[in-house]
Every structure is written in structure tokens, then in C-alpha cells.
Amino acid sequence: MTGSASCFVAAQNIILEAMSKLDPERPRREDTPQNASALAPDHRRGAGDDGLGLEFPFDFVPEPGEARPIVAGIHWVRMPLPWSLDHINLYLLEDGERWMLVDTGVRTDETKAHWRAIFDKTLGGRPVSRVLVTHHHPDHLGLAGWLADHFSAPILATRTAYLLARTLILDRRDEPPAEVLEFSHRAGLSAAMVDKQRKGGWGLFARAVHPLPVGYRRMAGGDVLKIGESDWHVIETSGHAPGHASLYEPDRKILLSGDQILPLISSNVSVTPTEPDGNPLDEWLHGLARLRALPADTLVLPSHNAPFYGIITRLDALIGKHVTRLGGVADMCGTPATAIDIFPALFRRRVSGLEFGMATGEALAHLHFLESLGVVRRQMEQGVARFKRIADYDAKALVARLDTITEQERMTAPWAV
Ligand SMILES: [Zn+2]
């Protein structure tokens, strides 16, 4: 969609020009390593995830257990993850005489050991005011209960994120519930794969997350949080996770983006058994379109990869990728297709192992979105859902709709420009 290479170079020049006049707290372009991809290798890159045109202002990545100051009052922490996505970024914010933690890492002894090093080396005995979690996924919220316990500090989260996490922690059983297996069958998984899923057990979430306290402090989209001397606006979006919170500080134009914007990875957007008829891609695109109302020279502090400049470029690339892929999916539905059947339109390489579940959810998200546009219609046959194209896919109309959302946000959001 928008954001051809030339537009984007022009936009970058404007951004850099503006940055050169900014306050000294903001990192300078001269510090920018040219090879962004060398900073943050990852396995889930696809088209448009090459970091092209983004500026990565820091030429280092913190070691686990180390907190590196990046702008006044904000420290960058990196923790290992035991998955193909092998790291998460956390941030420590000075909150007056105390610290506020943003996200926590997954529940492993290794992460706890790194946290203990940070308690000693960085927090310096100062108390923790709040443990903020951007969303309920275990890499973000896994140790929130443990940290809250340790510091007698409240957890700050959206209501949806907190309640969903509490629910999932309590959901322990030996086998997946029947409706989960039906969900997989409906998406087109073979009987052998469904059987493998049955034997895989249930309750991974509870293992990856420390128990949460019974109460929390609620934040909601539109709230303004006072953190130290700064005002941070809560921007609540969905699609990757219900009730995902990003935080934006307009004075210095800094966005703590969670998983809502990542520079080199496309966040997973999945239909899940929790909402088997959900339309998360609609929510996801809506969120991306809203965030385009932020200033182009915003410094983005994401949960994976590295901090970067180039938010509009990145949002355009993320939106453009989905808009294009939806066309490919619609084409494949010329013959009625299951979620599994359309993998070639979405993923360039063979999907296997743990990624299979996420890929299925993502395929369903594209199909349900096209269904909501009236482009495909669902046909049920022996418990399997196939989607058949019944109308043309109008990419231009979709782009126009998203542009309208950005425009509305510019007119109404207090943080917009
Ligand atoms: Zn996430």
C-alpha cells in the first residue's frame, strides 16, 4: 500500500533533519549501525521484515542480567527465551525515587537469576512502584507475580490482560478439551495431527507463568499514567493479544510498543479456541492504522529486536503485507480451502513443530477477515470449514478504510499529531 521506497527515503530525511535539532536526550543518527539485522537475528522474518529504512540508534544489545540506559530515566533489559524467538526486551523506568518495571520475562530459573543480578546492580535497593505488563503472553507476564511478590508492588495491566492470564493459569488438565480438538479438526488438521495434539497435553501457559496475586491495578486505553515526571498515554489495541497496551510519551515522542509494533518480526495474529469465530485481523489492522497517527520521528521501544526510528515506515510495511497476503488468500479460495490449505499464500517456508498452531491461527485470521468483507463464504462439511471465494477482494477499499481510521485518530486522540 502506501510507503514506496522513494517516499520512505524522503520521509526518513525529514525525520533525521528534525532529529538533528532535538534535545540531547534523544539518540543521534551518527550512532546508528548500518546493519540493523546484525543486531537482532530472528527466525520469523518474512517479506517486509528486513528492517529496510528503519534506523536503529543503539549499537549495542544489553547482555542478559544487565540494564543499559538508553534515554533519560529509561533502561533497556534483555532476557533470554527458550523458544525460536530467543529474547525479549524489558524496560525499567525511573518513577520518582522508585522503579517501574515494564514486562517481566518468562518463568524460568534463568530469568530469575538475571533479575536478581538487576536487583543488585541496577535497582540499587530502591523500591519498585509498579509491575506493568503490556499483555498476557508468558514472555511478558511470566514473572509478574514473582516480581510483585518480591517487591510488594502492584501489577498494572488492562482488565482483559489480567483476567485472561488469571483464567489461563487456573486452566490445568491432562488433555486438551474436546472443543480445542474440534477447533483443530475444523481448521483442516489431519486425524493424526489432532491425535498428536491430544497427546501433547494442556496447560503450558500455567507452567510458563508464576501465579498472579488476586488483585491488580487497572489501566485502560485513554488513561494517562504519571511515571516520574512524565505523562504516558495508554493506547489499547487488540489482534495480537486482547487488551494489549502500548504507552506513549508525547513530550519526548517515545512509544513503548510491546508486541504491537516490532521492527523485524511480524507479530502473530491468531484466531484461537477462546474465540473460535473471532476476527482478530480486523482488530490488528485497526490498531496499526490508529498508531499511524503518531509522529514520524517517534522512538519506538519494542518488546523484540531493538529500539528504532521509522514508525510510519514500519506500520505501512505491516499493513501492506497483510493487504497483499489477503489477496493471495482470496485467490486460493477459488477452490474451497481450509486454513491449512492456504499456508502457501501466507508462509514462504514449510511450517512445522510448535509454529504449526500459530500458523493455523494466523491462516484462520485471514480467512475470517475475508469472510467479514464478504469475499469468502464458509462451508461446513463433516466438521471441517472450507472457505470459498464469492466476491472480488478490493484491496484499495481496505486501504482507504484504514486511512480513514488514521485520519479519525489524528483528529481525536490526545497523543496524535
Ligand atoms: Zn505477545
Torsion sign over Cα 119, 125, 126, 131: positive
**The residue to which cell 490526545 is assigned:** 414
5-174+201-311 is classed in which CATH architecture? 4-Layer Sandwich (3.60)
Pairing of strands 98-102, 87-95: antiparallel
Nearest to 318 by CA among 46, 97, 40, 5: 46
What is the share, in percent, of the chain residues with pLDDT greater than 90?
81
- Å from CA of 335 to ligand 1 middle: 33
- Å from CA of 183 to ligand 1 middle: 22
- Å from CA of 309 to ligand 1 middle: 21
Task: Give the whole-angstrom CA distance, residue 187 versus residue 339.
Answer: 5
Cα atoms found within 13 Å of the Cα of residue 208, Cβ hemisphere only: 18
Q: Kind and range of the H or E element at 148? A: helix 144-151
pLDDT of 246 above 80: yes
In the β-sheet with 308-309, what is the strand arrangement from edge to edge? 224-227, 230-237, 244-249, 254-258, 299-302, 308-309
pLDDT of 9 above 50: no
- Å from CA of 285 to ligand 1 middle: 16
Per DSSP, which regions of 109-241 are E strands? 128-132, 155-157, 217-218, 224-227, 230-237
**The residue to which cell 485497526 is assigned:** 286
pTM for this predicted structure: 0.88
- Å from CA of 259 to ligand 1 middle: 5
pLDDT of 385 above 90: yes
Least confident residue range of 23-37, 331-345, 386-400: 23-37
Q: What is the per-residue pLDDT across 167-185, written as a single tens digit (0 to 9) for each?
A: 999 999 999 999 999 999 9
Evaluate whether 99 touches 132 at the Cβ level (below 8 Å).
no
DSSP string, 76-142: EEEEE-SSSS-EEEEEEEEETTEEEEE----S-HHHHHHHHHHIIIIITTPPEEEEE-SSSSHHHHT
Q: Which amino acid is at 148?
A: A
Q: Which residue has the higher pLDDT, 223 or 50?
A: 223
- Å from CA of 188 to ligand 1 middle: 25
Bridge partner residues of 226 (DSSP): 231
* Average pLDDT across the chain, whole number: 88
- Å from CA of 139 to ligand 1 middle: 7
- Å from CA of 19 to ligand 1 middle: 30
What is the per-residue pLDDT for 145?
98
What is the per-residue pLDDT for 24?
31
What is the per-residue pLDDT for 48?
61
What is the per-residue pLDDT for 51?
82
- Å from CA of 137 to ligand 1 middle: 5
Evaluate whether 121 touches 66 at the Cβ level (below 8 Å).
yes
Mean pLDDT of 408-414: 96
Distance of CA 116 to the CA centre of its chain: 26
pLDDT of 15 above 50: no
Pairing of strands 128-132, 98-102: parallel
